[in-house]
Amino acid sequence: MAPNPATSDTAAPDAFAPDTAAPPDATPDAPARALTRECIAAAALRVLARDGLAGLSMRKVAAEVGVKAASLYWHVRNKEELLDLLNDALVAGAELPPRTGDWRAQYLEYGRRYRALLLATRDAARIVAGRLATGPHILAVLEDQLDRLRGAGFTDADAAMASYLLSAYVQGFVLQEQSPLSAAEAAGATRGEAARAAGEVFRTLPAETHPNLVALAADLTDPDMDARFEFGLHRLADGLAALLPTPRPAPGREPR
C-alpha cells in the first residue's frame, strides 16, 4: 500500500478564501508542478460536462490533467473520494440569492437557484444526490441558508429541517428531470417527444382498470418542468410558513 496523504482533510474547510481561486503551494522551491486536488476536481468537472457520469473514469480524468490513472491515487483514496471532490466543485459555482424580500421569497429563490445549478451540469443531480460530504463550498451555502431561516423566526430544529427538506426536494426533482425517462428514451428522443409518448401510453390504457391515468394523461405528462417545480416549491414554503407564529394574513391565498 502506497503512503497516501489524502486522508483526513476531506472534510476540513481548507482553502476557504471566499472566492479567490488562489493557487496555494506553500513549499518554496518545489517543482511547482505537483497536482492539486482542486486541479483534479476541475478536470473531473470538465470530463463530466463532456461525457456524463457514465463516461467519467479515472483514466479519463487523469488524461484530462495530463497524467496516468495510477497517479490519481496519490491525491485521492479512490473514485468515491474523487466524486466527493467533484460534489463540492459543483457547488462552488453557486451564487447566493439577494437578501431582499421576506424569508419565503428567499427560500423559493434558493430552491430555484439550486435547481438551475444542478441543471447546468450534466448528471449533476446524480452526483450530488447521495452525498453529504462537507466540502468548504457546501458549508458556506448551508451557513448562509441557516442564517436566513433563523432570522425569519424558525426554531433551530425547524431551520435545520427546512434546509434539509429543500435539498431533498430539489435533488429528487432534478434527478427525475435530468435522467432519461426510460431506456427507450435514452436512445435519442427529446423530452417533449418522450412526454408525448408517455402520455400516449397513459391515454391508451384500458379505461376500466385505469380510469384516472387515462383522464389525467395530459396533466401527468405536462412537459413544463418549471411549473411543476414551482408547484412543489410553493407547497413546501406554505407548509413551512404554517410553523411560524405570525402568518401575516394566512397561508394559502393565491391558490395557484
Partner DNA sequence: ACCTGAACACCGTTCAAGT
Nearest to residue 43, comparing CAs of 6, 4, 76, 8? 76
Q: 17 to 76, contacts with a second copy by CB under 8 A?
A: none
- Kindly report the backbone phi and psi dihedral angles of residue 102, in degrees, each rounded to the nearest multiple of 5, phi listed first: -80, 180
Stretch near DNA under the rule CB under 7 A, chosen from 61-69, 132-140, 142-150, 211-219? 61-69
The per-residue DSSP string of 93-134 comes to T--PPPS-S-HHHHHHHHHHHHHHHHHHSTTHHHHHHT----
- What sign does the dihedral 171-124-95-81 (CA atoms) show? positive
- Residue 1 has a CB neighbour count (10 Å cut-off) of 3
Give the whole-angstrom CA distance, residue 130 versus residue 243.
Answer: 28
| 35-43, 57-65, 100-108, 220-228 -> range binding a second copy (CB under 8 A) | 220-228
Does 212 contact a second copy by CB under 8 A? yes
User: Of 46, 124, 137, whose CA–CA distance to 88 is shortest?
Assistant: 137
- Residue 255 binds a second copy, judged by CB under 8 A: yes
Q: Where does this chain touch DNA (CB under 7 A) — which range of 28-36, 112-120, 190-198, 203-211?
A: 28-36
Identity of the residue, 187 or 250, whose beta carbon is nearer to DNA in the bound complex? 187
**For cell 503512503, what's the residue?**
3
Residue 93 contact among DNA, a second copy, none, beta carbon within 5 to 8 Å by kind: none
Cα dihedral sign for 136, 140, 146, 147?
Answer: positive
Site for a second copy in 111-140 (CB under 8 A): 125-126, 129-134, 139
30 binds DNA (CB under 7 A): yes
Contact region for DNA (CB under 7 A) — 70-78, 110-118, 187-195, 229-237?
70-78
Which triple of cell numbers denotes residue 177?
A: 428531470
Q: Is 75 in the site for DNA (CB under 7 A)?
A: yes
Interface with a second copy (CB under 8 A), residue from 41, 62, 65, 84: 84
Q: Is 70 in the site for DNA (CB under 7 A)?
A: yes
Residue number, 39 or 129, with CB nearest to a second copy: 129
Per rule CB under 8 A, count of chain residues that contact a second copy:
82
